[in-house]
Structure formats: C-alpha cells, structure tokens
Amino acid sequence: MMPISSKPLAVAIMGPTASGKTAAALEIARQIPSEIISVDSALVYRGMNIGTAKPSAAERATVPHHLIDIIDPNESYSVMQFRQDALRLAAEISARGKLPLLVGGTMLYFKALQNGLDALPQADAAVRAQLDQEAARIGSPAMHAKLAALDPDTAARLKPNDAQRIQRALEVIALTGRPMSQLLAKAPKIELPFEILPIALEPSDRSVLHARIAARFDAMLDRSAGGLIDEVTALRARGDLHLGLPSMRCVGYRQVWEFLDGAYDRLTLREKGITATRQLAKRQLTWLRSMPERIVIDCLDPAPSTMILRRIAMMQEKTGRN
C-alpha cells in the first residue's frame, strides 16, 4: 500500500496567457470550497486591470482571491516575497478547511515556490541603477550579449529584449561573482509543507490560442469605456511612472505607452501588442515543458475544469484525503 501523506493538498493551475486558467479555477471553486492565490507578477499592481486581464470584482466577490492589488505600480515585488506570501496563504487557507488554488502564468513564481531561490541575493538598488544606465547606453541586445559571455546557460533561455530578466541575471553576477545558472543548480531541494497537484493548461492547437490572444487584445483596446489606452493614459498622468519600472514593462502596457509617445499608429500598436503577447505565451509554454511532473490538460477542451476536478478526486483518493 502507498503511504498516506499527512500534508494538505494544493492545486497549481498553470498555463500560457489566454488559456482559461481563471475560468477553470472559478468553476473548481464552485464545486470545492477553495481560495485562489494569484501566481501572476502583473496582477499584484493596483490600477492595472484591463491589460492584466484581472478577475472582475464580481468574480473576486464569489471566490476569495489573494495577491491581487497588493502594491502600487511604482513599487516592486520580488520572487522571494511571492514565495513567502504564497506559503503563508496556502497554510492559512488549508487551516480554514479550504483548497488552495495557485493560479497563474508567471512560471518563475511556480518554480521558486517548488524549488526555492534562497541561493540568489536580494535586489540591490545601486547595482540596478548602474545596469539601467548601461542598458540605456548600449541597449538590451548588447546587455544580452554581455550576459551570454558571463552566463551562457541563463542567456540561452532569455530573449535579447527581455530586459528585466537580463538585468536580474547580470545583477546576480555583480553581487555574487557567480552565474545565476550555477547558483540555481546548486540550490538545495525544498520540501513544501503541502502536496501540490501541478496542472498545466496547454493548447493542442497553438493557432487557436493565438486567435484567442488576438481577440482578447482587441477587446482590451476596443472597450467602449475605460479601455487599455485610457488605463495607460491615466497611469502616465500620475507623473511618477516610467518604462523602466517592472509594472510598465508588462505586456500590453509597454506597447500602449510607446503608442502614446507617438512611436507608432494604432494599427501597429495592435500588431505589436498581439506579437508581444504571443511571445509571452511561447515563453510560458517553454517553462512548462521544463516541468516533467506536470499533468497536461488541453485548454481547448470544452470543459477543462471537469478534467481538473477528476484529477483532484484521484489525488484525494490516492492520499486518503476526503
């Protein structure tokens, strides 16, 4: 007989953008008493609702959501902060007799939750300022080339225009004298205080996901009142935000900001926004493929939540949970 785990269960619902993670989680929460922990680096920001596809007020009133609207767009939220918050929240939700649903598409957050990132140093404002100045002078592709010379393994999984992650990798090298890939490879295996059921919503036909992405971005731009352009216009009007901030580098926000700067017309904005979102989805799927333990469910299935519920029931039966 298999040993019965004494740890509480948590379900991770991962997937690329527009794969239907929120809808699936809400349906599961209607069937099983649950609370949702957002695993999304964009949903943490207040005032960024449309471009992040943030759950509506009605949806959040139906099921408790956590780690949404917790910081201002001029602030930062680290991977380690997420890990600490997620572990605390999962324990609290389990103590309330509910199922923690970890839902989102920020794969680095999922990886940090499962493996930890204790070997990496905290952010250093002075080093980041120097790297920002260097990036402004030579550009992101040149920064990527610099990273490739110092940490080829990390550079190989990053796009030359992924300025935020390139900066972080170079920051780690500056602070430790060692490449990030080496530090992560030597990180000790972390034992979670709960059993995690890793579900990945992935498309059987990527062209259908691309069509969903285009339709959703069009809807963000074409909302009759308070669309994405209006949202970014209001954020710009604050006067304390700029494209160097992680919040304004989020997909969609950067492209609209540049459009408002006059860099291109609305048609080009649409093309750039859709392209950037597709590239994000591709990166998310690449991350997912590096997680062999995941259970893949076709996000194009008419009712992926039904298959997830079946997997939860199987896990509960296997481990002796009710």
Q: Is residue 218 a contact partner of residue 36, using CB atoms and an 8 Å limit?
A: no
Cα 102 to Cα 48, 82, 295, 299, distances in angstroms: 20, 12, 15, 17
Cα 95 to Cα 8, 34, 64, 316, distances in angstroms: 9, 12, 15, 17
The DSSP bridge partners found for residue 199 are 13, 295
| Pick from 220, 131, 110: nearest CA to 173 | 131
Quick: pLDDT tens for 244-289.
899 999 999 999 999 999 999 999 999 999 999 999 999 999 999 9
Going by pLDDT thresholds of 50, 70 and 90, the confidence category of residue 121 is confident
Backbone angles phi, psi at 293, to 5 degrees: -80, -5
Cα 100 to Cα 97, 166, 264, distances in angstroms: 10, 32, 43
Quick: pLDDT tens for 70-91.
999 999 999 889 999 999 999 9
| Residue 163 token pair | 């300025």
Q: At what angle do helices 228-237 and 206-222 cross, to 10 degrees?
A: 60
| Residue 11 token pair | 């379900």
| Pick from 198, 207, 209, 202: nearest CA to 297 | 202
pTM: 0.81
| Pick from 212, 147, 206: nearest CA to 180 | 147
Cα 245 to Cα 70, 82, 106, 169, distances in angstroms: 16, 18, 17, 17
Region of poorest pLDDT, from 99-113, 135-149, 175-189, 258-272? 175-189
